[in-house]
Amino acid sequence: MSDLDPFKVFMEIQLGLPRNGPGSREATRAAFKLLPPLPSEPEILDLGAGQGAATLELLRLTDGRVTAVDIMKPFLDRLEANAEGEGVPETRLRTLCADFEDLHLPQGVFDLIWSEGAIYNLGFEEGLALWRPFLAPGRYAVISDCIWKTDEPSLEIRHFWDEAYPSMGTLAENAARAQRAGFEVLGTHWLTEDDWWTEYYGPMKDRIRALLPDYAGAPEALAVFKEEEEEMELFERFQDQYGYCFFVLQAKS
């Protein structure tokens, strides 16, 4: 047994991907279109931004400023490099390496909170309740979360998600959670199968194949690869029973 850090291997996979979770430019745009009109230069808070696939799209979709938060500094470094490559002015992008469970940001100033595939770390209702104070009165949140498409999932996939995300709910359950957290649901948008594979699972398979020769004798790395491959295999088999869905929300006055 070596002393290789499995997290290092995980990061090496993730930094080689175009995005750090299921999604696409088209999915981000489709969810954004469900929003009512925003101010001409909105203040946007992107929580769990990763390498910034959604952040950069929000900068393209608006003339506003994005504060992108992630706990992983290497992701934010990549986001900053990508933004510079696209010619994004420094005045329009702020990155913050922080835990989004403990944010030291001004309250009541953001026109839009955006978060793709990250709220599971807190739980849907808990995360919304924690983040709502950062919104200006009556403003909006667009949050994607992994949810059940059925009330009676197969035991195998239920067991997997009970371990990975015990509070995962259905569409109706998350809508009720949003209400309790102080939001009205304005709309929803499901990710498609392509949104999982084209920019996330497909590149992940290629990335694992590329890294295998470097870690062939490292059981810690092989365990990380196996875990990722098992997750992809489960999605292939059970994608009719769960998926990611955007919730477009408005803070209640």
The whole-number average pLDDT for the span 9-17 is 96
pLDDT category at 56 given cuts 50, 70, 90 is very high
Domains, the chain, ordered by start: 39-191+241-251 (3.40.50.150)
What's the farthest any 2 CA atoms get from each other in the chain? Answer: 58
Q: For 130-177, how does the pLDDT look when each residue is reduced to its tens digit (9 = 90+)?
A: 999 999 999 999 999 999 999 999 999 999 999 999 999 999 999 999
Q: For 92-110, how does the pLDDT look when each residue is reduced to its tens digit (9 = 90+)?
A: 999 999 999 999 999 999 9
pLDDT at 43: 98
pLDDT category at 2 given cuts 50, 70, 90 is low
Q: Measured between alpha carbons, how far is 174 from 96 in angstroms, rounded to an integer?
A: 28
What are residue 62's phi and psi, to 5 degrees?
A: -135, 170
The whole-number average pLDDT for the span 12-19 is 96
The answer to whether the pTM exceeds 0.85 is yes
Going by C-alpha positions, the residue among 35, 88, 43, 48 that lies closest to residue 66 is: 43
What tokens appear for 196 in the block? Answer: 């999982």
Q: For 71-95, how does the pLDDT look when each residue is reduced to its tens digit (9 = 90+)?
A: 999 999 999 999 999 999 999 999 9
Residue 222, exposed/middle/buried by CB under 10 A (0-12, 13-18, 19+)?
Answer: middle
Averaged pLDDT score across all residues of the chain:
97
The whole-number average pLDDT for the span 48-72 is 98
8 A C-beta contact, residue 46 and residue 25: no
- Contacts of residue 102, defined as CB under 8 A and 6 or more positions apart, other chains included, come to none
Q: Measured between alpha carbons, how far is 182 from 159 in angstroms, rounded to an integer?
A: 31
pLDDT category at 217 given cuts 50, 70, 90 is confident
pLDDT category at 8 given cuts 50, 70, 90 is very high
